């Protein structure tokens, strides 16, 4: 380590002496010769969906899908439609990353789906196409982040599979199989060499993005995905989902014993509401249990797939040990969510989330500064905190769902920031992979015959299972020993195959997701590309007003949203229109800040801790209507009267009258004179209060759909 620093210093000296007449800026010198330093920043990018058949000025209608016909498909993509991404958008995105992020980030979390959707019956996807665009994107990353000094990468890049990165989509059988083998090759720059063999079996791996400090765990969520008919949950030891959970458990135990922290990433998020789910219930249960037990280790969970910008708060009280073992069935209570959500389905889903959030209690506000708390907690928790029930919100697990590059709304990406205090001079990741030559870009137009996976020819996971048995036995022994110490404390699980990880030690401080400390996430900036502006289309109606053409298609986007529950396909912001000028005339492509958690006035997130998001979700949840059905909440006027009741009946936490939130008025009304600050606001009319009251929800929806719907349009979903 010190050798490395010495070498760096030597190089720096050399640079100073040999540099061109000392004119070079110090920055350049440091960049070129000193060891890389952490920036406390990383990129989360997801769902790129490049489409080699995208045609500018083609139709965005369902039967054309931006592949043919005449219409408003813009040069950088058709915003708010179900079309995939033109290559120009992918190129522009990488150019933007190169110009704006390349030397400012520590690692990249890339959560999958780098192939087009299988939506055009005339152009069924071939294996070469799916792997071709994946290889193209992987190589773009590898080239952009090639270490100028060495042969490998300058920073670690961590990929994972999306459900569209395989053929047929959603179906991935247990490894080893040729998909996993092929991705071992495509991602050879990214998967640590010693894990390639394991990857071929299961498609999961981890990378120490900051050696001895922080690892990113790439989960193969397709083995948890309810829509993957090739696997069956996480309870049965014969299942690959079970094996992945065991790998995760053992690895997180290792992380804990090494004093390291972990970021979990995957494509399909563990989204689960009262009526819908994305993961098999046994996997969801086990994952939530693992996250609870490893809450001292896990920094956060980052996912993609859903395109909607949102977050998930899982309540560990929903963990049911019988369900972890698959002994109780979730059958019939939750249906698998469509993998592609229309705005309507997406809104129903978000309304359900809001219903869940309406049950949250407002988290306590801790009076000390976070830094002080952490310091004071080095040897355990303070007496005062111990008296509070769950001061850190450790009952909850937080996951972030990052929205997509593919312009389902607007193309968007996220730059996360995390605390590197004390790590300024830590040894950084260095590429040790042997790598090899970058392969040539495959011929995208080559239309290979569709080769289907031979389901029967795949071997089983037997080899892999063997390697696990040893570890399991060890883990079991440890557990038995512990049990003897505290007899009766731990109930023996009914399931002999379930090894519940030990919780954090009683003396350990709360984990990085709960209290600010080194490696805690501190905030993020969401960037988006306003394609309406950039594409700069000059449009006219495709049909005359009195034409008998398909009116739903030629309706405005506003009308389109209303019709979405009938129309599965979304033809975008300009559906039914066509360009006047034959030649595209785009403006300069750019990503701009959509919002940042550091200064968002309505989100008011001081940081990304669980408590901060529970508080935000609580505020959003308070606008939910109780009793009414989710869909009924869409527009009916009668229902508006009802939610007054909810507000009147709110449970208030007496400690926090000083909070400047939108409940101020109602609060003052309820507890006359008890809060000091509430009285300063004038009692507004009912209408005014309502508008104030759901401003957090509307704001959240604006972000969820990446700014493609304005407040007027969103009102329909309030
Ligand atoms: C994208 O960039 C590649 C080079 O990386 C180039 O060959 C290709 O023509 C570009 N495509 C578009 C549509 O700009
Ligand atoms: C980072 O962590 C340190 C040490 O725990 C703390 O003092 C500081 O306030 C944190 N910084 C941020 C921005 O959260
Ligand atoms: C995007 O650009 C269009 C056209 O310039 C503009 O009308 C719209 O308000 C912009 N949307 C956002 C969210 O910035
Ligand atoms: C707030 O919700 C009410 C119905 O509950 C709705 O009428 C109103 O338009 C919403 N306000 C906004 C700004 O969306």
Tokens, residue 310: 């949102």
Q: How confident is the model at residue 710 (pLDDT cuts 50, 70, 90)?
A: confident
Q: Is 444 in the pocket of ligand 1 (CB under 6 A)?
A: no
Q: Which residues, in sequence order, are CB contacts of 685 under 8 Å at separation 6+?
A: none
Tokens, residue 498: 């379930």
- Report yes or no: 570 and 341 within 8 Å, Cβ to Cβ: no
Residue pLDDT, tens place only, 78-121: 999 999 999 999 999 999 999 999 999 999 999 999 999 999 99
Q: How far is the CA of 518 from the centre of ligand 2 (A)?
A: 6
Q: Is 89 in the pocket of ligand 1 (CB under 6 A)?
A: no
Q: What is the pLDDT of residue 627?
A: 36
Pocket test for ligand 1, best of 50, 74, 87 (most atoms within 8 A of CB): 87
Specify which of 40-49, 317-326, 478-487 reaches the highest per-range mean pLDDT: 40-49
Average of per-residue pLDDT across 591-595:
98
Mean pLDDT of the chain: 77
Binding-site residues, ligand 2, Cβ < 6 A? 370-371, 374, 419, 421, 516-518, 522
Q: How far is the CA of 396 from the centre of ligand 2 (A)?
A: 22
Q: Is 563 in the pocket of ligand 1 (CB under 6 A)?
A: no
Specify which of 463-477, 581-595, 666-680 reaches the highest per-range mean pLDDT: 581-595
CA dihedral 130, 272, 366, 683 (to 10 degrees): 110
Q: Is the pLDDT assigned to residue 540 strictly greater than 90?
A: no
Q: Is 342 in the pocket of ligand 3 (CB under 6 A)?
A: no
Give the start-to-end residue ranges of the domains of the chain: 3-50+85-520, 640-716
Q: What is the pLDDT of residue 542?
A: 64
Pocket test for ligand 1, best of 52, 91, 137 (most atoms within 8 A of CB): 91
Lowest mean pLDDT among 255-259, 324-328, 509-513: 324-328
Average of per-residue pLDDT across 679-684:
40
Q: Which residues, in sequence order, are CB contacts of 172 under 8 Å at separation 6+?
A: 161, 166, 179, 203, 220, 222, 223, 228, 230, 231
Q: Which residues, in sequence order, are CB contacts of 718 under 8 Å at separation 6+?
A: 623, 633, 694, 697, 698
Q: Is the pLDDT assigned to residue 260 strictly greater than 50?
A: yes
CA dist 371 and 352 (Å) reads 35
Handedness of CA 686, 603, 270, 292 (dihedral sign): negative
Average of per-residue pLDDT across 525-551:
76
Q: How confident is the model at residue 335 (pLDDT cuts 50, 70, 90)?
A: confident
Higher per-residue pLDDT: 434 or 303: 303
CA dist 367 and 214 (Å) reads 29
- Report yes or no: 444 and 132 within 8 Å, Cβ to Cβ: yes
Q: What is the pLDDT of residue 391?
A: 92
CA dist 613 and 220 (Å) reads 26
DSSP state of 42: E
Q: Is the pLDDT assigned to residue 655 strictly greater than 60?
A: no
Specify which of 32-46, 126-140, 333-347, 635-649 reaches the highest per-range mean pLDDT: 126-140
CA dist 129 and 458 (Å) reads 22
Residue pLDDT, tens place only, 361-379: 888 876 544 444 444 444 4
Q: What is the pLDDT of residue 713?
A: 77
Q: What is the pLDDT of residue 377?
A: 43
Q: How confident is the model at residue 26 (pLDDT cuts 50, 70, 90)?
A: very low
Q: What are phi and psi of 690, to 5 degrees?
A: -60, -45
- Report yes or no: 494 and 327 within 8 Å, Cβ to Cβ: yes
Strands 261-265 and 298-303: parallel
What is the reported pTM? 0.79
Nearest to 700 by CA among 308, 198, 375: 308
Average of per-residue pLDDT across 59-67:
95
Which ranges in 119-159 belong to alpha helices (H)? 127-144
Pocket test for ligand 4, best of 621, 694, 702, 710 (most atoms within 8 A of CB): 694
Q: How confident is the model at residue 341 (pLDDT cuts 50, 70, 90)?
A: low
CA dihedral 8, 38, 156, 524 (to 10 degrees): -160
Q: Is the pLDDT assigned to residue 284 strictly greater than 60?
A: yes
Residues in the chain: 718
For 463-477, the DSSP string reads: HHHHHHHHHHHHHHH
* Whether residue 168 has a cis bond before it, omega within 30° of 0: yes
Q: Is the pLDDT assigned to residue 263 strictly greater than 50?
A: yes
Nearest to 251 by CA among 468, 88, 67, 74: 468
Pocket test for ligand 3, best of 80, 403, 532 (most atoms within 8 A of CB): 532
The percentage of residues in the chain with a pLDDT greater than 90, rounded to a whole number, is 58
Q: Is the pLDDT assigned to residue 675 strictly greater than 50?
A: no
Lowest mean pLDDT among 308-317, 398-407, 693-702: 693-702
Nearest to 598 by CA among 526, 695, 529, 530: 526
Q: Within 10 Å of residue 59's Cβ, how many Cβ atoms?
A: 26
Q: Is the pLDDT assigned to residue 589 strictly greater than 50?
A: yes
Q: How confident is the model at residue 337 (pLDDT cuts 50, 70, 90)?
A: confident
Q: How far is the CA of 401 from the centre of ligand 3 (A)?
A: 24
CA dist 261 and 519 (Å) reads 8
Residue pLDDT, tens place only, 383-413: 444 446 899 999 999 999 999 999 999 999 9
The b/e string for 415-428 (b: 16+ C-beta within 10 A; e otherwise) is bbbbbbeebeebbb
């Amino acid at each position: 380590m010190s050798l490395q620093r010495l070498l760096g210093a030597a190089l720096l000296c050399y640079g100073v002496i040999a540099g061109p007449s000392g004119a070079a800026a110090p920055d350049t010198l440091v960049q070129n010769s000193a060891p890389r330093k952490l920036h406390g920043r990383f990129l989360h990018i997801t769902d790129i969906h490049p489409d080699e058949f995208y045609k500018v000025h083609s139709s965005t209608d369902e039967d054309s899908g931006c592949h043919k016909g005449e219409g408003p498909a813009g040069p950088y993509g058709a915003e708010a439609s179900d079309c995939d991404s033109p290559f120009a958008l992918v190129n522009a995105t990488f150019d933007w990353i190169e110009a704006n992020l390349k030397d400012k980030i520590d690692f990249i979390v890339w959560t999958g789906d780098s192939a087009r959707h299988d939506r055009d019956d005339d152009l069924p996807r071939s294996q070469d196409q799916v792997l071709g665009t994946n290889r193209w994107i992987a190589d773009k990353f590898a080239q952009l982040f090639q270490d100028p000094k060495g042969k490998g990468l300058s920073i670690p890049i961590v990929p994972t599979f999306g459900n569209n990165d395989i053929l047929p989509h959603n179906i991935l059988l247990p490894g080893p199989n040729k998909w996993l083998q092929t991705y071992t090759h495509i991602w050879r720059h990214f998967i640590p060499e010693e894990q390639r063999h394991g990857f071929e079996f299961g498609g999961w791996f981890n990378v120490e993005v900051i050696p001895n400090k922080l690892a990113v765990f790439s989960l193969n969520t397709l083995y948890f995905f309810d829509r993957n008919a090739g696997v069956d949950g996480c309870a049965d030891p014969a299942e690959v989902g079970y094996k992945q959970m065991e790998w995760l458990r053992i690895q997180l135990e290792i992380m804990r014993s090494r004093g390291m922290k972990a970021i979990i990433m995957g494509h399909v998020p563990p989204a689960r509401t009262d009526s819908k789910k994305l993961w098999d219930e046994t996997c969801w249960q086990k994952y939530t249990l693992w996250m609870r037990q490893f809450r001292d280790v896990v920094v956060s969970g980052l996912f993609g797939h859903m395109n909607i910008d949102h977050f998930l708060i899982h309540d560990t009280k929903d963990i049911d040990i019988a369900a972890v073992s698959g002994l109780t069935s979730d059958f019939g209570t939750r249906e698998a969510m469509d993998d592609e959500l229309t705005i309507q389905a997406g809104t129903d889903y978000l309304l359900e989330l809001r219903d869940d959030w309406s049950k949250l209690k407002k988290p306590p506000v801790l009076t000390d500064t976070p830094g002080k708390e952490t310091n004071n907690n080095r040897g355990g928790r303070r007496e005062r905190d111990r008296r509070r029930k769950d001061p850190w919100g450790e009952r909850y697990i937080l996951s972030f769902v990052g929205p997509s590059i593919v312009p389902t709304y607007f193309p968007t990406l996220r730059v996360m920031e995390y605390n590197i205090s004390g790590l300024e001079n830590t040894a950084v990741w260095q590429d040790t992979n042997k790598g090899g030559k970058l392969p040539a870009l495959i011929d995208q137009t080559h239309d290979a015959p569709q080769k289907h996976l031979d389901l029967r020819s795949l071997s089983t996971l037997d080899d892999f299972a063997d390697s696990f048995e040893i570890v399991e036995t060890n883990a079991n022994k440890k557990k038995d020993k512990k049990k003897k110490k505290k007899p009766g404390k731990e109930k023996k699980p009914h399931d002999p195959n379930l090894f519940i990880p030990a919780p954090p030690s009683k003396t350990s401080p709360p984990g990085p997701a709960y209290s600010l400390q080194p490696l805690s996430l501190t905030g993020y900036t969401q960037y988006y590309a306003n394609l309406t502006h950039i594409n700069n289309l000059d449009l006219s109606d495709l049909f005359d007003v009195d034409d008998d053409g398909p009116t739903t298609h030629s309706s405005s986007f506003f009308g389109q949203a209303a019709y979405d529950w009938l129309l599965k396909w979304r033809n975008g912001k300009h559906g039914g229109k066509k360009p006047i000028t034959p030649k595209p005339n785009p403006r300069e492509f750019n990503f701009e800040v959509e919002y940042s958690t550091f200064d968002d006035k309505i989100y008011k997130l001081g940081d990304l801790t669980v408590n901060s998001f529970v508080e935000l979700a609580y505020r959003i949840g308070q606008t939910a209507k109780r009793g009414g059905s989710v869909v009924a909440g869409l527009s009916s006027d009668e229902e508006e009267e009802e939610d007054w009741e909810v507000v009147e009946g709110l449970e208030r936490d007496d400690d926090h009258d000083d909070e400047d939130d939108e409940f101020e008025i109602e609060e003052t009304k309820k507890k006359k004179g008890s809060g000091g600050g509430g009285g300063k606001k004038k009692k507004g009319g009912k209408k005014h209060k309502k508008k104030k009251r759901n401003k957090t929800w509307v704001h959240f929806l604006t972000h969820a759909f990446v700014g493609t719907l304005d407040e007027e349009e969103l009102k329909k979903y309030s």
